[in-house]
């Protein structure tokens, strides 16, 4: 009590006591009156009933809050590599296992330890062989991540905490001091109330117990959600930082067109980077016919892939005067123009691969070898493998050859022709080691176009999400390449201007360099 008196002064304590005295004795007289009137037990029953109703309503409110919480959960980046996705799975595991009892939100030192634990988990994932993985970051990117995290925290505080724009740090410090002072002497106050007003103390303790249960029932869940969001936010930015996925400047859209292709493809800079679809297969498998059947009106583009002189032909798919996709037709890989090096370089820049194979040719050993070679080239955890669909062409040439009466029901096969198509699907899937659901049978012969607009287009739409993730990661690499070039030229230019401003005698000479 001395600390309270010292904090407020005797006169202020007396003034507060005189002010609250009528309010303090009112519950005593009210309790005595109810006891004399025989209403006290009824009042206790009503209080218990109200407490029960309050608990039920609180449970409903908490359930609604819980259903709303996942909509604001931080998720992994769509532009991340497979390696980053694997690291995000570790962060998610940390978040799902975290509890408020282990990491209390009101303990600053504990939260700092938690932040270091998350950062170390991410840094070790990306730099497993380094003795001090936390230091494997560049200073500019570290400052950028701090700036973005602080900006996100500022937005959360401003948008969700009432009067936060008027709250000063001094006010927060004073409020925390008074709260700590009250907590320190709360037991004295409760003991004094129990001595001088036992009935009032009993009611207050009941209200306190029920109120704490009401608050704690939802508070624990909200605090757990906040704790896990804290871990996810830290993990997200740490993955950007240690995974080399952060850009210093984000003024350019991530999905802006590749600067090297704007002039070559004749595109405007305000367009989105289009999806790149790559067609692969043997000669005469029907790749060019597939382009005509699938995309209809296409415009040939020149030199869409820099540094390639291999006969790869690019086409622009335009809708509403905007390029939506670039389709690349390649020579047959069984020819002389398309070697392993070109295959890998071309596939790495693709967002979706259509592997074209003929249904009536059973000799697929070379195709299997090329496809395995392609998979090995794309098996890089720092990248994301483009989804692959196998387009089985020339189904009209299957027995009976003279029969052509689509549509054909394949599951179960209805008729001899349908049975041959279904058997060819299984054979292609086994020969190329792909899932049979990823093999699409089509006919591309003139006047016999079949299963392109419905089945193949539907399969491509199902793969669009995965293809867009590949496209965004490709865009990120292009943006970082452009950023590195711009920064290097800017740094060299600024350094040159500084050297020119130095007095002649202070400039470094060749003799000094020796």
Residues 277 and 171 in one domain: no
Assess whether 317 and 455 both reside in one domain: yes
> And the tokens for 147?
């700036």
What's the average model confidence in pLDDT over 414-434?
Answer: 96
Count of domains in the chain?
Answer: 3
Dihedral (Cα; 204, 206, 211, 212), 10-degree rounding:
110
- Angular region, 237: left φ>0, alpha ψ -120 to 50, beta rest: alpha
* Same domain for 483 and 429: no
Question: What is the maximum span of the chain, computed from C-alpha positions, in angstroms?
Answer: 110
Q: What confidence tens digit (pLDDT) does each residue in 28-50 have?
A: 677 777 778 887 778 778 877 87
Asked whether residue 232 falls in the same domain as residue 266, the answer is: no
By the 10 Å C-beta count (0-12 exposed, 13-18 middle, 19+ buried), 350 is classed as buried
Inter-residue contact 367 to 357 (CB < 8 Å) = yes
Instruction: Tell me the torsion sign for CA atoms 247, 251, 253, 257.
Output: negative
The pLDDT score that the predictor gives to residue 302 is: 40
CA–CA separation, 177 and 174 (whole Å): 5
Select, from the ranges 146-150, 388-392, 444-448, 475-479, the one with the highest average predicted confidence (pLDDT).
Answer: 388-392
CB 338 within 8 A of CB 330: yes
Q: Which residues contact 164 (CB under 8 A, 6 or more apart)?
A: 157, 158
Q: What is the reported pTM?
A: 0.73
Maximum average pLDDT range among 196-210, 219-233, 239-253, 290-304: 239-253
254 within domain boundaries: no
User: Over the chain, what is the mean pLDDT?
Assistant: 79
Task: Give the model confidence (pLDDT) of 465-490 as tens digits.
Answer: 999 999 999 999 988 888 888 888 88
Same domain, 47 and 186: yes
In a domain, 301, yes or no: yes
CA dist 82 → 91, 123, 247, 361, 481 (Å): 14, 16, 19, 35, 20
Question: Domain check: are 113 and 186 in the same one?
Answer: yes
Lowest mean pLDDT among 279-288, 374-383, 470-479, 492-501: 492-501
Give the model's pLDDT for residue 332: 85
Residue 483 · residue 245 · CB < 8 Å: no
Q: 151: helix, coil or strand? A: helix
The string of pLDDT tens digits covering residues 13-25 is: 677 677 767 766 6
Residue that finishes a domain, picked among 197, 214, 242: 242
Looking at the structure, do residues 131 and 98 belong to the same domain, yes or no?
A: yes
Characterize 129-155 residue by residue with b for buried, 16 or more Cβ atoms within 10 angstroms of its Cβ, and e for exposed: eeeebeeebeeebeebbeeeeeeeeee
Last residue of a domain, one of 242, 275, 309: 242
Neighbours of 387 (CB within 10 A): 21
- Tell me if 226 is assigned to some domain: yes
Say yes or no: 460 and 483 in one domain.
no
Residue 450: CATH number of its domain? 3.40.50.300
The 8-class DSSP code of residue 274 comes to: P
Residue 407 lies in a domain: yes
Based on the fold, state whether residues 456 and 502 are members of the same structural domain.
no
**In this structure, is residue 227 part of a structural domain?**
yes
Does pLDDT of 63 surpass 70? no
Neighbours of 216 (CB within 10 A): 11
Looking at per-residue pLDDT, the higher value among 271 and 504 belongs to 271
For residue 412, say if its preceding peptide bond is cis, omega within 30 degrees of 0: yes
Region 406-431 average pLDDT: 95
Are 85 and 245 a contacting pair, CB within 8 Å? no
Lowest mean pLDDT among 295-299, 321-325, 490-494: 295-299
Domain match, 226 and 273 both: no
Q: Does residue 415 come out as left (phi exceeding 0), alpha (psi in the -120 to 50 range) or beta?
A: left
Same domain, 275 and 166: no
At 76-118, the pLDDT tens digits run 999 999 999 999 999 999 999 999 889 987 777 888 899 889 9
- Answer yes or no: is 367 within a domain: yes
Non-local CB neighbours of 474 within 8 Å, separated by 6+ positions:
273, 276, 349, 351
Per-residue pLDDT tens digits for 216-236: 445 667 678 778 888 998 899
Structural domain of 390:
261-472
| Judgement on whether residues 466 and 485 belong to the same structural domain of the protein | no
> What's the pLDDT at 146?
74
Q: Is residue 249 part of a domain?
A: no
**HEC assignment per residue over 327-341:** EEECCCCCCCCCCHH
| Rounded distance between C-alpha atoms, residue 91 and residue 93, angstroms | 5
- The confidence score (pLDDT) of residue 212 equals 52
Q: Are 340 and 373 in contact (CB under 8 A)?
A: yes
pLDDT at 308 over 50: no
What does the pLDDT average to over 155-160? 71
Domain-located, residue 168: yes
Residues facing 326 on adjacent strands? 276, 316
The DSSP symbol for 164 reads T
């Amino acid at each position: 009590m001395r600390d309270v008196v010292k904090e407020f002064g005797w006169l202020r304590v007396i003034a507060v006591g005189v002010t609250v005295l009528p309010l303090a004795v009112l519950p005593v007289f009210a309790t005595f009156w109810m006891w004399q009137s025989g209403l006290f037990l009824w009042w206790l029953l009503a209080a218990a009933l109200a407490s029960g109703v309050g608990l039920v309503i609180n449970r409903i409110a908490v359930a609604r809050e819980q259903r709303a919480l996942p909509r604001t959960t931080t998720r992994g980046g769509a532009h991340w590599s497979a390696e980053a996705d694997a690291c995000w799975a570790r962060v998610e595991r940390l978040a799902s296992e975290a509890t408020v009892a282990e990491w209390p939100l009101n303990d600053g030192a504990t939260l700092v330890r938690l932040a270091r634990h998350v950062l170390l988990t991410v840094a070790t994932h990306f730099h497993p062989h380094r003795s001090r993985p936390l230091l494997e970051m560049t200073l500019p990117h570290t400052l950028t991540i701090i700036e973005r995290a602080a900006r996100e925290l500022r937005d959360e505080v401003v948008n969700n905490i009432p009067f936060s724009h008027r709250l000063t740090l001094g006010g927060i410090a004073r409020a925390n001091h008074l709260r700590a002072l009250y907590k320190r002497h709360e037991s004295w106050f409760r003991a004094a109330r129990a001595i001088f007003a036992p009935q009032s103390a009993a009611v207050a303790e009941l209200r306190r117990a029920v109120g704490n249960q009401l608050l704690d029932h939802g508070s624990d869940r909200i605090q757990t959600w906040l704790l896990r969001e804290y871990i996810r936010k830290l993990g997200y930015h740490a993955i950007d930082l240690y995974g080399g996925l952060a850009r210093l400047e984000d003024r350019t859209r991530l999905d802006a067109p590749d600067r090297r292709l704007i002039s070559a493809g004749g595109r405007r800079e305000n367009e989105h980077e289009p999806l790149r679809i790559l067609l692969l297969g043997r000669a005469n498998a029907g790749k060019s016919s597939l382009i005509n059947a699938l995309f209809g009106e296409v415009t040939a583009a020149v030199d869409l892939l820099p540094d390639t002189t291999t006969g790869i032909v690019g086409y622009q798919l335009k809708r509403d005067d905007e390029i939506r996709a670039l389709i690349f037709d390649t020579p047959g890989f069984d020819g002389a123009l398309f070697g392993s090096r070109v295959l890998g370089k071309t596939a790495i820049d693709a967002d979706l691969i259509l592997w074209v194979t003929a249904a009536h040719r059973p000799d697929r050993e070379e195709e299997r070898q090329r496809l395995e070679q392609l998979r090995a080239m794309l098996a890089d955890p720092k990248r994301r493998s483009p989804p692959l669909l196998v387009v089985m062409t020339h189904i009209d040439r299957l027995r009976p050859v003279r029969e052509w009466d689509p549509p054909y029901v394949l599951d179960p096969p209805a008729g001899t022709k349908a049975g041959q198509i279904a058997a060819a699907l299984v054979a292609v899937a086994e020969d190329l080691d792909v899932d049979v659901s990823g093999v699409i049978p089509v006919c591309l012969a003139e006047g016999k176009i079949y299963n392109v607009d419905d089945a193949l287009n539907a399969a491509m739409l199902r793969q669009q999400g995965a293809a867009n993730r590949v496209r965004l990661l490709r865009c990120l690499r292009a943006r970082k390449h452009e950023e590195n070039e711009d920064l290097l030229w800017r740094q060299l230019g600024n350094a040159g201007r500084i050297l020119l401003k130095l007095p002649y005698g202070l400039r470094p000479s060749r003799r000094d360099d020796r």
